[in-house]
Amino acid sequence: MKKAASILSVMILLFTMQGYAQTNSLGQDINAITTAVPFLSIAPDSRAGAMGDIGCATSSDGNSQSYNPAKYAFNKNKFGFSISYSPWLRNLVNDINLAYLTGYWRITDMDAIAMSLRYFSLGNIEFMDPNGEWISTQKPNEFAIDFTYSRKLIDQLSIAITPRFIYSNLTAGQFVGGEETKAGLAGAADISLFYEQDFKVKKMNNSTLRAGLCISNIGNKMSYSSGTLRRDFLPTNLKLGIGYEMDFDGYNKLTVNGEINKLLVPTNPIYQTDSMGHIVYNEAGDPVIAYGMNPDVSVPQGMIQSFYDAPGGFREELREVMFAVGAEYSYRDLFFFRLGFFHESQYKGNREFVSIGAGLKYTVFGFDVSYLIATRQYHPLANTLRFTLNLDFVSTNKNEIKQQNRFN
């Protein structure tokens, strides 16, 4: 029963929060932005996970699909596969898991295709009625499958479009508020750009500057009922990144990266309350907004509105910007050591952590692992582990090998 209660608590926190502003002990507003299917915002692989969840402007790899699919056009290998696994929120429960499978194929030197499957399992959950009587035991789960086409516009710049199908079955048809629930379905797409430029620097073998932009999960709102239950925004996100790689002598490389991202989702307003602290409703039955803007808008309007609708003004808008920094050292492209830091305002989700990781690559095989160290006590993300296995195959075509060597 403790386990079931813990999982249900996680579900309530992640999926059904109404998002009304609350006040912490310092008298400051806690107003986290909530969305449907937040599992889409989890960094699934170990390389990015070890560098503070950074991946928008790092070098291309098999897991670029989750961060910036435009990078695939710059992949030096012909095709490859990757599988990642992470036990999730293990400080709370012991059977929530995230699995991620990707595959890519570089068609020519100018374009590539890729696809991925993300699967999130919430383990066994016991559903109870309002009287505490057992109804059934279910295994809620969610998944997303997507496809990418990436193409270079010029030798240094590429673009990608990534359509996505999303399925979320959290309630297994249970009744909520007298209405039968259903699995949530949504369609979405990512649009991304990637820039990569090699140049020579004194006393270095080579240097590479990279930059990336990605707007992910642009899609319809999701509902878990055909009735009157609310429809929630997908976690539409704007991500900007920059990276600089230094190849010192052909054996030792160091890459430093920085990244910012922001949810393009309306901020919950502060509602007017009466003397008893209850929310005031107008004649139409809608809550009266005291500060901020109405979040019940269309997806395009919500994306635009997200830049100026925070009830706390510009100061609160700045709190909604998350940032991360990360570094990767490699020796002969065989051994990899990584370090990262991620920050999100304590009033907007309170995720802040240091991450470390290592990797080993031999011929076509690569294995990465990462470990998350929370900077705040009793954080549910603390001690998160991620594991990734990569298989990357170079071209066997002699003409393509010559062309690849010319660019390397």
Question: Given pLDDT bands bounded at 50, 70 and 90, which one contains residue 275?
Answer: confident
What average pLDDT does this structure show over 228-239? 87
- As to burial, measured by CB atoms within 10 angstroms (0-12 exposed, 13-18 middle, 19+ buried), residue 167 is middle
Round to whole Å and give the CA distance between 379 and 155.
44
Residue 327, pLDDT score:
98
- As to burial, measured by CB atoms within 10 angstroms (0-12 exposed, 13-18 middle, 19+ buried), residue 331 is exposed
Residue 404, pLDDT score:
46
Lowest mean pLDDT: which of 64-78, 213-227, 325-339?
A: 213-227
Question: Given pLDDT bands bounded at 50, 70 and 90, which one contains residue 308?
Answer: very high
Half-sphere exposure of 217 (CA within 13 A, CB side): 27
Backbone angles phi, psi at 157, to 5 degrees: -135, 135
Amino acid identity for residue 203 in this structure = K
Pure H helices in 179-309: 299-305
Amino acid identity for residue 250 in this structure = G
Round to whole Å and give the CA distance between 189 and 177.
32
Length of the chain: 408
pLDDT for residue 1 is more than 60 = no
What average pLDDT does this structure show over 38-56? 96
What average pLDDT does this structure show over 30-39? 92
Model-level pTM? 0.88
Residue 11, pLDDT score:
45
pLDDT for residue 21 is more than 60 = no
pLDDT tens string 132-166: 777 777 888 999 999 999 999 999 999 999 999 99
Identify which has the larger pLDDT, 406 or 149.
149
Amino acid identity for residue 278 in this structure = H
pLDDT tens string 247-258: 998 899 999 999
What average pLDDT does this structure show over 346-367? 95
Backbone angles phi, psi at 231, to 5 degrees: -105, 130
Structure tokens at 392: 């990357």
Amino acid identity for residue 268 in this structure = N
Radius of gyration, CA atoms only, the chain = 23
DSSP state of 405: H
Residue 19, pLDDT score:
36
**Cβ–Cβ < 8 Å for 371, 385:** yes
Residue 135, pLDDT score:
72
Residue 5, pLDDT score:
37
Question: Given pLDDT bands bounded at 50, 70 and 90, which one contains residue 227?
Answer: low
Question: Given pLDDT bands bounded at 50, 70 and 90, which one contains residue 337?
Answer: very high
What average pLDDT does this structure show over 381-387? 93
Taking Cα atoms as reference points, which of 290, 249, 247, 297 lies closest to residue 272?
A: 290
What average pLDDT does this structure show over 360-382? 92
Question: Given pLDDT bands bounded at 50, 70 and 90, which one contains residue 46?
Answer: very high
Taking Cα atoms as reference points, which of 101, 83, 47 lies closest to residue 389?
A: 83
Close Cβ partners of 74 (under 8 Å, ≥ 6 residues apart): 59, 60, 152, 158, 194, 196
Q: Quick one: how far is CA 138 from the chain centroid? A: 26
Q: Quick one: how far is CA 156 from the chain centroid? A: 26
pLDDT > 70 in the chain, percent: 87
Question: Given pLDDT bands bounded at 50, 70 and 90, which one contains residue 177?
Answer: low
What average pLDDT does this structure show over 97-113? 96
Taking Cα atoms as reference points, which of 68, 244, 238 lies closest to residue 158?
A: 68
Round to whole Å and give the CA distance between 257 and 246.
12
Question: Given pLDDT bands bounded at 50, 70 and 90, which one contains residue 45?
Answer: very high
Residue 228, pLDDT score:
54
What average pLDDT does this structure show over 282-306? 92
Question: Given pLDDT bands bounded at 50, 70 and 90, which one contains residue 179?
Answer: confident
Residue 133, pLDDT score:
72
**Cβ–Cβ < 8 Å for 241, 258:** yes
Residue 37, pLDDT score:
95
Instruction: Please spell the DSSP secondary structure of 136-152, one letter per residue.
Output: EEE--EEEEEEEEEEEE
Close Cβ partners of 331 (under 8 Å, ≥ 6 residues apart): 251, 252
What average pLDDT does this structure show over 221-237? 84
**Cβ–Cβ < 8 Å for 76, 401:** no
Question: Given pLDDT bands bounded at 50, 70 and 90, which one contains residue 9?
Answer: very low
Residue 175, pLDDT score:
66
